[in-house]
Structure 1
Amino acid sequence: MIEPWLYPVLTGVAFVAGFIDAIAGGGGLIIMPALLVSGVPPLQALGTNKLQSMCGTFVAMRNYGSKGLIDWRPNLATALIVFAGAAGGAILVQYVDARTLALVIPLLLLANAVYILVSPRMGDEDAHQRLSARGYAPVGGAIGLYDGFFGPGTGSFFTSSLVALRGYGLTRATALCKFFNWTSNVAAVLLFAIGGKVLWLLGASMAIGAMAGGWLGSHTAMRFGAKLIRPLLITASVAMTARLLWGYFAA
């Protein structure tokens, strides 16, 4: 039973998480501890987090798309593969112990932060692509599987891989990341809902905060571009690394 006073508090937390997530990803690392501390069981916390994240990401995606920053048609096939991967991940997480991932993922996040810090490609200028949209699809599907199964850092993984492999500038990569991230969230919400793992009233309340945060965050990212997104990506990756390692060794 969630105490009534927690609804506005968690909605406020969702606003902050939605703002950060629209720019650099990592909102789940803010939401999940807040839900667990509030007494929400782990699987219900995952499902409810995906619901509010889906709504916040949709608003950010729509804002980026309205400015012409998302190439919808060339990336539709990848989005469908991301959807399938996330659905598979959401099924697996309900039956598999995620403790091994809890140790591996911080190392990947740390490597991701180092890449963002030192790579000369991390600007707003498009570069030569190393993979086509079709070639990137399996990468997107693997990240989608991870998002449905575990989740933290998904936005950072999408963004940095789109820059490194598809040659996107950082702002365009962040925009396309929201399309893929929204797709994986939809798949996860459907699977968690079928399993009865979504707290709908709480999720709807938090979605209001997430949508407001997503709107403000996406407009802020488009205004300031790579000079804001890059340091936030590094900060988010390092913070997620520290948080996940703390949770792993404190358990």
Structure 2
Amino acid sequence: MEWWILTAASALAGFVDAIVGGGGLILVPALFAVFPQAAPATLFGTNKSASVWGTAMATWRYARRVEMRWAALVPAVLVCLIGAWLGAWAVTLVSAEWLRRALPFVLAAVLLYTLAKKELGRHHRPRYQGRAEALAACTIGGTIGFYDGFFGPGTGSFFVFLFVRWLGYDFLSASAAAKLLNTTSNVAAVALFAWKGHVWWHYGLAMAAANVAGSLLGTRLALRHGAGFVRGVFIAVVTALIAKTTWDAYGALP
């Protein structure tokens, strides 16, 4: 039964993650429910070993159909990789408790801003060119890459929001760029978890196949229905993230 639960959860996570990020909302709780006694690091590592394949597949599909601004994104990938490694290193030294408590409020601000700006992300109008765009993309890659290595929830949504709000991308192009950088931070995380022996590969491989299948379907729908559809899924995922992170931070308090 555990194989059925995990592969189904991984497929659904890949579907959601391919559109706008947030697949961890589905797969991580499923892993904790199936293996409540397992070390958290092992479950996080197993999650990443599956999700990295779905994000990589989504990146490839988007790159074939969506304008990818490679001059800005390639240096951002390198900075994101460094940021993710530094974040993973930092979490071994510093508690992330303060961030866990602040996260629901940050996500609520993102949601309210997106709802207030009805036209946000509906049209692709990049604000920067050349070096300025590369610098902005590198700042996003390094900052959110560090966050992904240090803590993680909502990484894909933060990537999407910043590409839309700061760089002027539409939601579809922002999701494509986010998938590229999210793949990078996932690779860094998988490498670190595998090095520490925190990956169950026998589960991870089956979950990876399901994650890729879900990713293919999610990418297809996003490409077919465009930025408006991605915006709607973004709002739904951020709303779910607010509920989940609020419960994680404050639900157990007396």
Same-fold call, TM cutoff 0.5: yes
Q: In structure 2, what is the equivalent of residue 217 of structure 1?
A: 218
**Cα RMSD, aligned residues only:** 1.6
Q: In structure 2, what is the equivalent of residue 21 of structure 1?
A: 17
Q: In structure 2, what is the equivalent of residue 126 of structure 1?
A: 124
- Counterpart CA distance in 2 for 1:243 and 1:222 is 28
Shift of 1:128: 4.8
Cα–Cα, structure 1 residues 83 and 121, in superposed 2: closer, same or farther, change >3 Å?
farther
Shift of 1:121: 4.3
Instruction: For 2:99, give the aligned amino acid.
Output: L
What count of residue pairs does the alignment treat as equivalent? Answer: 247
Q: In structure 2, what is the equivalent of residue 243 of structure 1?
A: 244
Q: Deviations along 1:91-148, whole A, 9 cap, x unmatched? A: 2334543222211111111111112212244234222516522133122211001111
Runs of 4+ in structure 1 off by over 6 angstroms are none
Q: In structure 2, what is the equivalent of residue 187 of structure 1?
A: 188
Q: In structure 1, what is the equivalent of residue 209 of structure 2?
A: 208
- Counterpart CA distance in 2 for 1:105 and 1:117 is 18
The answer to whether the Cα contact below 8 Å between 1:90 and 1:149 also exists between their aligned partners in 2 is yes
Q: Which region of structure 1 is more displaced relative to structure 2, 112-121 or 42-51?
A: 112-121
Shift of 1:82: 0.6
Q: In structure 2, what is the equivalent of residue 104 of structure 1?
A: 102
- Counterpart CA distance in 2 for 1:180 and 1:226 is 19
Gaps of 5+ in 2: none
The answer to whether the Cα contact below 8 Å between 2:171 and 2:228 also exists between their aligned partners in 1 is no
Q: Deviations along 1:193-216, whole A, 9 cap, x unmatched? A: 111111111111111111011111
2:4 is the alignment partner of 1:8 = yes
- 2:54 pairs, out of 56, 68, 84, with 56
- 2:68 pairs, out of 50, 67, 70, with 70
Instruction: For 2:83, give the aligned amino acid.
Output: G
Shift of 1:70: 2.0
Q: Which region of structure 1 is more displaced relative to structure 2, 128-137 or 211-220?
A: 128-137
Q: In structure 1, what is the equivalent of residue 172 of structure 2?
A: 171
The answer to whether the Cα contact below 8 Å between 1:91 and 1:191 also exists between their aligned partners in 2 is no
- Look up the SS of the partner of 2:125 in the other structure: coil
Instruction: For 2:160, give the aligned amino acid.
Output: T
- Counterpart CA distance in 2 for 1:62 and 1:242 is 31
Q: TM-score, normalised by structure 2?
A: 0.92
Q: Which region of structure 1 is more displaced relative to structure 2, 84-93 or 207-216?
A: 84-93
Instruction: For 2:165, give the aligned amino acid.
Output: A
Shift of 1:74: 2.8
Instruction: For 1:61, give the aligned amino acid.
Output: T
Q: What does 1:80-159 correspond to in 2, within 5 Å?
A: 80-129=78-127, 132-159=133-160
